[in-house]
Amino acid sequence: MGRIIFYEDRNFQGRSYETSSDCAELTSYLSRCNSCRVESGCFMVYERPNFMGHQMLVRRGEYPDNQRLMGMTMSDCIRSCRMIPMHRGPFRMKIYERENFGGQMNELQDDCDSIQERYRMSDCQSAHVMDGHWLMYEQPHYRGRMLYLRPGEYRSMRDMGTGPMDTRIGSIRRIMESC
């Protein structure tokens, strides 16, 4: 079970809110959130409510300044978070070149540092996660903005609420650490 504490101001100052689960709207508890401390587990934090916008994986540790953590320019605080459960067992995902599971399809069971090099896919527009929790990155070698996928069907990467993120996916990594 994970535990994260959010603070209104930088450097863990101001009012705080602690949670061990998903929170779709942190401003229900705090007027803003500018720092956080992860006591245990892994979480995705988002710049907009309802798990939308720029997102970042945070693990056990201290994050005194969210702007530096997330590299945010549009927003200055975290507005929602999602707890990532520990997954034990196989990892399996199908990625598709086009929306609605169209075009070339490839199945992944491990990390892929370059979709274009490994599968000769120029783009990934939809996905079906059967097992495990995954991070997709906009650039090869796990760089750039990220997108968290849990088990389920994703018919369009454009509809994932990431904001200005290029819908191109360059690499994919399993979330395996126990955090």
Q: What is the pLDDT of residues 3-54, one digit of tens each?
A: 999 999 999 999 999 999 999 999 999 999 999 999 999 999 998 999 998 8
What is the model's pTM? 0.88
How far apart, in whole angstroms, are the C-alpha atoms of residue 166 and residue 125? Answer: 11
Residue 70, pLDDT score: 62
Q: Are strands 52-58 and 35-40 parallel, antiparallel or unpaired?
A: unpaired
pLDDT tens per residue, range 86-116: 898 999 999 999 999 999 999 999 999 999 9
Q: Which of 28-37, 75-84, 120-129 has the lowest mean pLDDT?
A: 75-84
Side chain identity, residue 34: N
Report all structural domains of the chain as residue ranges with CATH numbers, in order of start. 3-84 (2.60.20.10), 92-174 (2.60.20.10)
Residue 68: its pLDDT value, please?
A: 66
Residues 52, 108, 86, 140, Cα dihedral to 10°: -50
